[in-house]
Structures are given as C-alpha cells and as structure tokens.
C-alpha cells in the first residue's frame, strides 16, 4: 500500500493514532440541521401570524367593514354570510368589524405592558447583577415578592384598586411582568461583568454607566428580545382575561375578552360570537410564542 493510500486509511490522526471516523458526526450534523429547520419554521410561522395580527390592528384603527357599535336586532346571531362574513352577535353587530376594532386594544396592551415591564425590570436587574451586594438583595427580594403572586391575581388586585379601564390594565400587567425581565437582566449582568471585554473597558477607565449601556446591555438584548415577544403574548392573554371579568376595556369599546364574556350565554344558539374572538386570541398568542421560540433558537 502506498503512503498516500495508507494515510487515507488511517485518517489525519497519524500512523499511530486512531482511525478517523466520520460516522458519529453525521447524526450530529443531521440533528443540527433539523433543529435549524424547526427554528426557521417557528420563526417564519410566528412572524407571519404576528404580522397578520399587527396588520389587523393597524387596519382596525382606520377602517372596519361596518360600524362595530351599530345594532340590528333583526339580524341578531346571524351565521356567516353575505354582508356579515363572520356573522353577528346577540345585538346584531358585525363580528368582523368588532374584531378589527378590538385588535388595536389587544396589540396596544401587549406593547404597552411589555415596554413597562422592560423599563422597570431591566434597569433594576442590570444594576443588581453588576453591583451585587445589598442592592442585589433588596432588588431581588422585591421582585420575588411580586413574583410570588399568581400573575392574573396580582393584576386583578391592582386593577381593582385603581379602577377598571384599559390604561390601568396595561399598568397592572406591565408591573406583574417586570420580575421576569429583572431576573433575566440580572443573570446576563452576572455573566457578563467578568468577561474580558468588560474588564478591558474598566481598565481603560470607563465609568460604570458606560459599561452597563455600551457593553453589558447590548450583549443582553438577544435574551431580552426573546422574553419581550413572550411577554407580549402573555399581556394580550391577560388583557382578554381582565376584560372578560369586566376590569379591562370598558363598553362600548369592543374587546376580544369582552366579546367572549357577552357570547357565553348564547353558545348553544350560535357559536360564532365566541368562536372568532377565541380564535383571534389563540392566533395572537400562538404567533408571538412561536416568534419567541424561533428567536431564542436563532439568537
């Protein structure tokens, strides 16, 4: 056997080393490819569903096929058909128009509550993780106290104390969601504060605020972005629950949760007034959850 043939037979490890085996690498490569494909599918489907919901909300701000508040008792509980693609509710109001008009409230609640939770939790978590000591103890015990309450129960307590309304619901949901952002930001700060690029910035005389804003926060953004997409879907679901209980969006303004509450007495007569708001909530939550999963796998 020639030298070249012998080297090909024993592999790059050398004459005395173990043969090079490509077999185990193939399953690993297939697993990575499959995981990337699943991540791409989740990301694509989540982006499509989320984009559809956002487009519906933007359209609902300026246009609806009919007046969502106009009643027509002669066509109450009508099934989907000409003039009413999704049917009508117990007052003869067009369900499609009401869904479109309620979408801005749902998306606005998701954006507002997520932004508030991040604005409260992220700075607190970054400071606690970077400085540690007593600040870490006080901040995290405060977050633990908020986190100890069930999500919807604490939101109910806040809204009941402040009064019903969409603005108070956004405040309550954002406040309840802040501990998760604080914990993630603290974990990122704890891991990044000892990294070499942070040590180099500190040795170069950079101030703590500069290190936090220019070095630690940008590296923590991928993790926080994933949490923001998941918090968005949770906020939409919480707003629907509060509206269902009469503490969120107030009449006559439509809300997906309020539409479900009004339709529950007519389920045996006509399922359409409950079916389509429920589907709207499910598609929104599913879309942003898939978007968060895809971002997590990618980032």
Q: Averaged in consecutive runs of 10 residues, what is the pLDDT profile of the chain (299 residues)?
A: 46 47 57 60 90 93 90 89 90 93 93 94 93 89 82 79 85 90 92 88 88 90 90 91 86 90 89 93 93 81
Task: Give ∠ CA 202-203-208 in degrees, rounded to 5.
Answer: 20
Q: What is the pLDDT of residue 161?
A: 82
For residue 162, the enclosing domain spans: 50-60+83-298
Is 202 among the domain residues? yes
Q: Which among 259, 254, 253 has a CA at the least distance from the CA of 273?
A: 259
Please tell me the total count of domains within the chain.
1
Q: What is the pLDDT of residue 37?
A: 57
Q: What is the pLDDT of residue 26?
A: 62
Q: What is the pLDDT of residue 12?
A: 45
Is 275 among the domain residues? yes
Q: What is the pLDDT of residue 3?
A: 45
Dihedrals phi, psi of 84, to nearest 5 degrees: -140, 85
Q: Which residues contact 156 (CB under 8 A, 6 or more apart)?
A: 172, 242, 245, 247
What sign results for the dihedral spanned by CA atoms 76, 80, 85, 87? positive
pTM for the model: 0.82
Other Cβ atoms less than 10 A from the Cβ of 227: the count is 23
Per the DSSP assignment, residues forming a β-bridge with 81 are 84
Is 203 among the domain residues? yes
Q: Which residues contact 160 (CB under 8 A, 6 or more apart)?
A: 247
Rounding to the nearest 10 degrees, give the CA dihedral for residues 224, 178, 154, 257: -50
Is 39 among the domain residues? no
Is 159 among the domain residues? yes
pLDDT tens-digit readout, 94-123:
999 999 999 999 999 999 999 999 999 999
| Cα 5 → chain centroid | 57
Rounding to the nearest 10 degrees, give the CA dihedral for residues 137, 142, 148, 150: -150
Is 9 among the domain residues? no
Is 28 among the domain residues? no
| Cα 186 → chain centroid | 20
**CATH assignment at residue 244:** 1.10.3720.10
Per the DSSP assignment, residues forming a β-bridge with 94 are 88
């Amino acid at each position: 056997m020639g030298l070249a043939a012998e080297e090909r037979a024993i592999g790059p490890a050398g004459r005395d080393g173990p043969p090079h085996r490509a077999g185990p690498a193939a399953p690993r490569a297939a697993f990575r490819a499959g995981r990337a494909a699943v991540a791409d599918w989740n990301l694509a489907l989540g982006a499509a569903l989320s984009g559809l919901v956002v487009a519906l909300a933007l359209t609902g701000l300026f246009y609806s096929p009919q007046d969502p508040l106009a009643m027509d008792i002669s066509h109450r509980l009508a099934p989907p058909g000409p003039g009413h693609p999704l049917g009508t509710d117990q007052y003869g109001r067009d369900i499609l128009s009401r869904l479109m008009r309620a979408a801005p409230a749902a998306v606005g609640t998701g954006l507002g509550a997520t932004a508030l939770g991040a604005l409260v939790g992220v700075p607190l978590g970054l400071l606690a993780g970077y400085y540690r000591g007593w600040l870490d103890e006080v901040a995290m015990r405060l977050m633990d106290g908020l986190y100890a309450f069930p999500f919807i129960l604490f939101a109910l307590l806040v809204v009941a104390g402040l009064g019903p309304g969409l603005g108070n619901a956004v405040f309550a949901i954002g406040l309840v969601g802040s501990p998760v952002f604080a914990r993630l930001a603290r974990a990122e700060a704890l891991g990044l504060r000892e990294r070499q690029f942070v040590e180099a910035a500190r040795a170069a005389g950079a101030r703590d605020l500069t290190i936090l804003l220019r070095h630690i926060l940008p590296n923590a953004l991928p993790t926080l972005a994933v949490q923001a997409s998941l918090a968005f879907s949770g906020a939409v679901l919480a707003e629907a629950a509060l509206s269902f209980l009469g503490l969120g969006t107030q009449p006559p303004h439509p809300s997906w949760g309020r539409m479900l509450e009004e339709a529950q007495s007519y389920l045996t007569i006509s399922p359409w007034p409950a079916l389509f708001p429920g589907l709207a909530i499910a598609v929104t939550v599913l879309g942003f959850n898939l978007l968060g999963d895809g971002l997590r796998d990618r980032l």
